[in-house]
Amino acid sequence: MSEFDLIRRHFTRPTPSAVLGVGDDAALFQVSAGNVLAVSSDMLVSGTHFFPDADPYWLGHKTLAVNLSDMAAMGANPRWATLAIALPSVDEAWLSAFSAGFFALAKAHHVELIGGDTTRGALNLCVTIFGEVPQNKALRRAGAQVGDEIWVSGCLGDAALALAHLQQRIALTEAEFAAVSPALHQPQPRVALGLALRGIANSALDISDGLLGDLAHILEASQVGATVELALIPVSETLRSLTPCALTPCPSPAGEGSHAALLQHCVLSGGDDYELCFTAPIHHHADVVHRARKVGVPVTRIGHIVAGQGCVVRDAAGKIITGGNNGYDHFK
Ligand code: ADP
Ligand code: MG
C-alpha cells in the first residue's frame, strides 16, 4: 500500500468545519470571530510514553487525549488537529485499530483531523491541536493569587499505580489492576471542565507529570507558594484500600522504598493523570462546585495559595511531609 493510500484509508475523514482538510499541501481553517487560537503539540514515543505492544485502539485514543487535555487546561475549545506519525512498517490491523481509537475520541469532542505527516521510522506519534478561546479568557499558569483555593479534578495516582504494576514495582490483584488501568490507557480529557472554568479560575494546568511537579509550574509562573493537605487529595477506592497509612496519620513513618512510600509517590508525583489542577478565589468556591457538577466532573479542594514560594504538603496531623517534590522530568 502506498503512503497516500494509507493516509486516505486510515486518516482521511470529512472535515466540514475546516475550509480545507487532508489532501493539499496545507490545511485551511477560519478562527471564529472574537477568538484567538490555542495551539499545542504533544508527542508520544514508543518505549518512553507507551509500551511497544500497547493496544493500538487505546493508543489512538491516548494520542489525541493528551492533546485535548492541554486544550482543557487552557479553557480552549478544541477544533482541529494534525497527526504526524512515524511507523516501523505498514500493519493494516494496527492502523485500523489506531485510527478507530483516535477518531472515536475526535468525534466525541467534535475535533477534525485536517492534516499531518506519515513517514517510516521508530513508532512515534505527534498531534498538534488547534483550539479556540475568546480573547483574554484563556486559563494560564501565571494567574494564581494568594488566598486562592487549589482544586484538582477526578482522582490522582491511579495511572502511576497501573504503571508501577506493569513495571513490577508493585503487585496488584487482577481486579485492582483492572480498576486502575483505564486511568493509564484511557484518559478522559477534562475539556468540558476547562470550558466551565473560564472566568472563575485564576490559573490552571493539566497534571501530566505529577501533582507536585505540575503545581510547581503554576507557583513559579505566578510567583506564589502553596499549602496542600495530603488527606484532601482525592484517590480512587482501589488506591485508598491499598494505603492504610499514606493518606491518614501514619504511626510509623514509611521507609524508603516501602509500599506506602510508593503509593504516596503515585499520588503526589505520579504522571499521566491528565486531571486538571486549578486555582480560584475563595468567593468562587460554590460556583466552582456548581459548574463542575453541571459538567459531571468531580472536583476537590486540596489546599490554598500562600505568599512565598514552593509547595508544602502536610499530613492529616499537620506534619510537613514534603517541601519540594518534583514530577517526572525526561532529562533528569
Ligand atoms: P507533502 O508531500 O506536501 O508533505 P504529504 O504527502 O506529507 O504532503 O501529505 C499529503 C496530505 O496528507 C497532506 O494534506 C497531509 O496533511 C496529509 N497527511 C499526511 N499524513 C497524515 C496523517 N498521518 N494524518 C492526517 N493527514 C495526513
Ligand atoms: Mg509532508
- Taking CA atoms, 95 is separated from 38, 44, 64, 123, 280, in Å, by 28, 16, 15, 12, 42
Q: How far is the CA of 110 from the centre of ligand 2 (A)?
A: 25
- Minimal CA–CA distance to 135: which of 214, 85, 75? 75
pLDDT of residue 1: 79
Kindly report the protein residue whose alpha carbon is nearest to atom 7 of ligand 1: 117
Kindly report the protein residue whose alpha carbon is nearest to atom 2 of ligand 1: 25
Q: Which fold has domain 149-321?
A: Phosphoribosyl-aminoimidazole Synthetase; Chain A, domain 2 (3.90.650)
Residue with cell 485492582: 176
Q: Model-level pTM?
A: 0.92
Kindly report the protein residue whose alpha carbon is nearest to atom 24 of ligand 1: 116
Residue 117 CA, closest ligand 1 atom number: 20
Pocket of ligand 1 (CB under 6 A): 7, 11, 22-25, 83, 85, 113, 115-118
How many whole angstroms separate alpha carbon 291 and alpha carbon 268? Answer: 26
pLDDT in tens, 120-144: 999 999 999 999 999 999 999 999 9
Residue with cell 481553517: 29
The whole-number average pLDDT for the span 282-292 is 98
How many whole angstroms separate alpha carbon 281 and alpha carbon 151? Answer: 11
Domain ranges of the chain: 3-134, 149-321
pLDDT of residue 256: 42
To test the ligand 1 pocket, which listed residue (118, 124, 126) has its Cβ within 8 A of the most ligand atoms?
A: 118
Which grid coordinates belong to 170? 508493585
Q: pLDDT-derived band of residue 255, with 50, 70 and 90 as boundaries?
A: very low
- The DSSP secondary structure of 167-224, one letter per residue, reads TTSS---HHHHHHHHHHHHS----HHHHHHTTTT-SEEEEESS-HHHHHHHHHHHHT-
Kindly report the protein residue whose alpha carbon is nearest to atom 13 of ligand 1: 23
User: At 221, which amino acid appears?
Assistant: A
The more confident residue out of 220 and 321 is 220
Asked if the model's pLDDT at residue 153 lies above 90, the reply is yes
Residue with cell 484518559: 187
- The DSSP secondary structure of 167-179, one letter per residue, reads TTSS---HHHHHH
The more confident residue out of 219 and 1 is 219
How many whole angstroms separate alpha carbon 112 and alpha carbon 14? Answer: 8
How many whole angstroms separate alpha carbon 288 and alpha carbon 256? Answer: 38
CATH superfamily of 3-134: PurM-like, N-terminal domain (3.30.1330.10)
